[in-house]
Amino acid sequence: MSKMAIETIQAPAQVQVELLQYPSGEANCLFEGEHTLYMSLAPRPLHYLHSQDGKTYTGLYQRGEILITPANTPLFARWEGQENCLQIRLTDEFVRKVARETVAGDCDRITLQPKFHTRDPQFESISTMLLNEVQQGSLSNQLYVDSLSNILAVNLLRQHATTRPHLPTYEGGLPSRQLRQVLDYIDAHLDQEIKLADLAQLLDISQFHFSRLFKQSLGISPYQYLLQQRVECAKKLLKNTDRLITDIAFTCGFNSHSHLSKQFKQLTGMTPKAYRSS
């Protein structure tokens, strides 16, 4: 079996996303210490035989349908036709870390269930956003990938664990003092890589709950706010200096001229060059 195409995006050592395309064939898979999720992207239903955990499924997978293989579980797969699927691997250590941060009780007993041919609208939505990152090669959007990874892990714990853990909810947003602390940190580090863990650690709360409380406070996600502030920084430098746009991009935390141009136009409707000339 040969791999025809593969693209990868990683949130360091915790989540790996790959776009896989294979001709008809079969494979044995075993990922030690990693939970593996597959979502079909084939434009037409594809016939599979899957075997794991002593059970076998034979039938058609349609676009968006998923297979869940817990860590350390051997999987045999055979497919007929051109396979096109998204593979997401989350380390067991990462999932347990998210569980410890968000779940009351003994998290070491929480395990995922093997599942064939299932639907999960939230998983499909998160996976599609991760797929877009793969296809765009946006390896610099660390805060965005961190947020999606945490939401994905919490969804797995809620919907696909052997026991359904109780996840506490927090309402009302962040207290104004804590919100100012976070916003000041973002403003001071616009030119650097900002991770979700950095922001959550400021307030000593879990990454998942930080994201929820931040959005309740401002109506947008931490990643969207960061993009807004980077674009605002670029607007000031474009108007008040004659620096090269590439230099401005790096100063404001973008990884290239094109990265700045794309985000700038999405938020303002103009390119940086047009904005400078207006």
> pLDDT tens digit string along 42-55?
888 999 999 999 99
pLDDT category of residue 167 using cuts at 50, 70 and 90: low
Query: Is 195 in the same domain as 234?
Result: no
List the domain range (segments joined by +) for residue 251. 228-277
pLDDT at 62 over 50: yes
Compute the residue count for the chain. 278
Rounded mean pLDDT of the chain? 86
Query: Is 14 in the same domain as 64?
Result: yes
pLDDT category of residue 182 using cuts at 50, 70 and 90: very high
Query: Is 137 in the same domain as 260?
Result: no
Q: Does a structural domain hold residue 168? A: no
At 16 the pLDDT is 87
User: What letter would DSSP give residue 24?
Assistant: S
pLDDT at 67 over 80: yes
Share of the chain above pLDDT 90, in %: 48
* Number of Cα atoms under 13 Å in the Cβ half of residue 277: 5
Question: What is the model's pTM?
Answer: 0.74
pLDDT category of residue 235 using cuts at 50, 70 and 90: very high
Q: What is the rounded CA–CA span in Å between residue 116 and residue 159?
A: 14
Give me the CATH number covering residue 94.
2.60.120.10
pLDDT category of residue 99 using cuts at 50, 70 and 90: confident
At 104 the pLDDT is 56
- Give the orientation angle of helix 222-240 with respect to helix 207-218, to 10 degrees: 60
Using DSSP, state whether 233 is helix, strand or coil: helix
The larger pLDDT score, comparing residue 109 to residue 144, is at 144
Q: Does a structural domain hold residue 167? A: no
Structure tokens at 57: 């499924």
Q: What is the mean pLDDT of residues 206-214?
A: 88
At 36 the pLDDT is 95
Burial of 177 per CB tally in 10 Å (0-12, 13-18, 19+):
exposed
At 3 the pLDDT is 43
Write a three-state SS string for 94-145: HHHHHHHHHCCCCHHHCCECCEEEECCHHHHHHHHHHHHHHHHCCCCCHHHH
Q: Does a structural domain hold residue 135? A: yes
Query: Is 118 in the same domain as 255?
Result: no
Query: Is 154 in the same domain as 17?
Result: yes
- Chain CA centroid to CA 45, Å: 26
Q: Beta partners for 79?
A: 25, 48
Strands (DSSP E) contained in the chain are 5-11, 15-22, 25-29, 34-40, 46-52, 55-61, 66-69, 75-80, 83-91, 115-118
Share of the chain above pLDDT 70, in %: 87
Query: Is 30 in the same domain as 147?
Result: yes
At 74 the pLDDT is 95
Q: Does a structural domain hold residue 169? A: no
Q: Does a structural domain hold residue 272? A: yes
pLDDT at 252 over 90: yes
In this structure, is the dihedral angle defined by the CA atoms of residues 232, 235, 240 and 245, taken in order, positive or negative? positive
Query: For 18-31, how does the pLDDT look when each residue is reduced to its tens digit (9 = 90+)?
Result: 888 999 999 999 99
pLDDT category of residue 6 using cuts at 50, 70 and 90: very low
At 118 the pLDDT is 92
Q: What is the rounded CA–CA span in Å between residue 11 and residue 256?
A: 20
What is the DSSP pairing of strand 75-80 with strand 66-69?
unpaired
How many domains are contained in the chain? 3
Q: Does a structural domain hold residue 170? A: no
Query: Is 118 in the same domain as 197?
Result: no
At 96 the pLDDT is 87
Query: Is 148 in the same domain as 243?
Result: no
Using DSSP, state whether 188 is helix, strand or coil: helix
Q: What is the mean pLDDT of residues 64-73?
A: 94
Query: Is 130 in the same domain as 254?
Result: no
